[in-house]
Amino acid sequence: MIKYITKNSLTLHNKWLVLVLISVALFLVGIDMTVLYTALPTLTHDLNASNSQKLWIINAYPLVMAGLLPGFGTLGDRIGHRSIFIWGLAVFGLASLIMAFSPTANLLIAGRAFLAIGAAMMSPATLAILRQTFVTDKERTLAIGIWGSVSAGANAFGPLIGGALLSRFWWGSVFLINVPVILVALLFAPVLLKKRPGNPDRVWDFFSSLLIMIGIVGLVYALKEFIKADSDSIHAFIALIIGIVFMALFVKRQKGSSSPMIDFGLFRNSQFIGGVVVILVSMLGLMGVQFALTQRLQLVQGYTPLDAGIFILPVFIASFIAGPTIGAILPRIGIIRSLWMSMFVAATGIIIFACFHREPLAMQIIALLLIGFGIGSGMATGSSAIMLNAPENKAGMAASIETVSYELGGALGVAIIGSIMTFVYTKTIILPKGLVEGDIAKDSIDQALLLSEKLNTNMASELINSARLAFDQAFHSVILMVAVIMILLGLVFLIVFGSNRKEKQNINH
């Protein structure tokens, strides 16, 4: 009897240790989406990066990752998710080391792309391993809820870590911190993760992975270029055509494949597609609002990187709490109801913050808590909707689709929010009379502040005040736009999929 209890206790213990291990890896992947938000002003100054380079330093990571995720998800189904996860850890650690000592902005961008390869190997494997480890729907729902809270929390916690490191070290420390954690994870992963055979009949189509990556990068680049204040229409149209052509080739290749990288039949399920869309919009909102807010806190209000990270900590706390909470009650409230409620809660928080950002701190904290809880709930519910509505033999595929939603949403958040902010900033800034290098000041508030260091006191003060006022107007425009998108999406789910009875039955059984 004692042996039986000990053996089962050890099995249960190992099961949750596996969740800890993959959560650590997921935490690093999520942190590197946002850790640069507080580091970006310092990094931009030290590397003399342009506004375009600044956005690509952020976007190279999620865009390359989004393009490679489907390929690595199916590769994990073929050779086993344990192997792909361990190799991903190694690549991620090496890329972090390279980035920490990058001497130029372009080399840092290349390092971010290399980092994305390691992240793309790990991310689908974390969900697939989780699904293989937790065998009952009740356990899976709870574990996926924790997974979702770690993902959302990491994205929210990134700016705080970046700010804390920058208060004592140079900007490269935000990447170097990954290395010791990766080394520890590499020691434990071979011991904790069970060897499970893959499916050798599963085809790994690397060419399709390249097609979707080029297609995604082309479309996002075109979107960024079209909404720039000084848009280059020719480059934008060329990028748009490339994006459309490569995405069309990808879809055609998938439909003609006997073992597609993405089974489009999965999207016939309303819960599955609902989960994908809500994760996409949640990440767009989280990344966009965080990017805009951390820049505003430092460049307009004069916060240090650490202070900016601490300020948005309520988003992390609420996101972290939301995942397990929603995972526990999801069988009772249903997936669809949870999806539209999460969008309304997050949008409410954004609107409150926009209206009361100059009010007492307590009101701002309440707003940030609502934003974090709404977005964390949306991510956790979306993850459950995707993984619980995909067959076991397509766990890697479903996980890669879900992670693509995360990374693409994050990339679009920074690309769209960043570009629209730049557009509004450029159109509203009023330059001091007699300023010779006015075009540089119009590029971004970072460039305006750099330029002010070369001016006399009166002109510098006028330029700084004008730049901060223009940036403030841009900030309010974009966060209210995010709130409107979330409200509209919530209304669609409420009206189109209002009946929730069937959803509850699907989860319970």
Do 177 and 73 share a domain, yes or no?
yes
Average pLDDT score, the chain? 78
Model pLDDT, residue 154: 73
Which of residues 409 and 500 earns the better pLDDT score? 409
What is the Cα–Cα distance from 88 to 67, expressed in whole angstroms?
16
Do residues 222 and 357 both lie within one domain?
Answer: no
The answer on 376 and 310 residing in a single domain is yes
Closest C-alpha to 378, from 316, 322, 317:
322
Q: Is residue 375's pLDDT more than 90?
A: no
Model confidence at 503: pLDDT above 70: no
Is the same domain home to 191 and 210?
no
pLDDT band at 369 (very low <50, low <70, confident <90, very high): very high
pLDDT for res 393: 67
Name every residue whose Cβ is closer than 8 Å to that of residue 188 and which is 6 or more positions away in sequence.
21
- 385: burial class by Cβ within 10 Å (0-12, 13-18, 19+)? buried
| Residue among 12, 308, 300 nearest 160 (CA) | 308
Whether residue 344 has pLDDT greater than 90: yes
Is 438 a residue whose pLDDT tops 60?
A: yes
197-206, 376-385, 496-505 — which one is most confidently predicted on average? 376-385
In this structure, the answer to whether residues 230 and 314 fall within a common structural domain is no
Q: What sign does the CA torsion over 409, 221, 105, 417 have? A: negative
* 266 lies in the same domain as 249: no
Q: What pLDDT is stored for residue 1 in this prediction?
A: 38
Separation in Å, CA 369 to CA 79, 328, 382: 42, 20, 20
pLDDT of the residue at 11: 45
Question: Is pLDDT of 67 > 60?
Answer: yes
Q: Which residues contact 262 (CB under 8 A, 6 or more apart)?
A: 70, 254, 397, 400, 401
CATH number for the domain that contains residue 445 = 1.20.1250.20
- Between 164 and 282, where is the model more confident? 282
Residues 469 and 339 in one domain: yes
From the list 481, 432, 492, the residue with the least C-alpha distance to 457 is 432
* Domain co-membership, 327 together with 233: no
pTM here is: 0.69
Question: Does one domain contain both 35 and 74?
Answer: yes
The structural domain count of the chain equals: 2
Separation CA 490–CA 483 (nearest Å)? 11
Indicate whether 237 and 263 sit together in one domain.
no
Do 341 and 237 belong to one domain? no
226, 241, 256 - which closes a domain: 256
Q: How much is the pLDDT for 413? A: 77
Residue 229 sits in which domain range? Answer: 206-256
Dist. CA 481–CA 70, nearest whole Å: 30
My answer on whether 220 and 168 are in the same domain is: no
Q: Is 87 exposed, middle or buried (0-12, 13-18, 19+ CB in 10 A)?
A: middle
- Name the most confidently modeled range: 70-79, 195-204, 473-482: 473-482
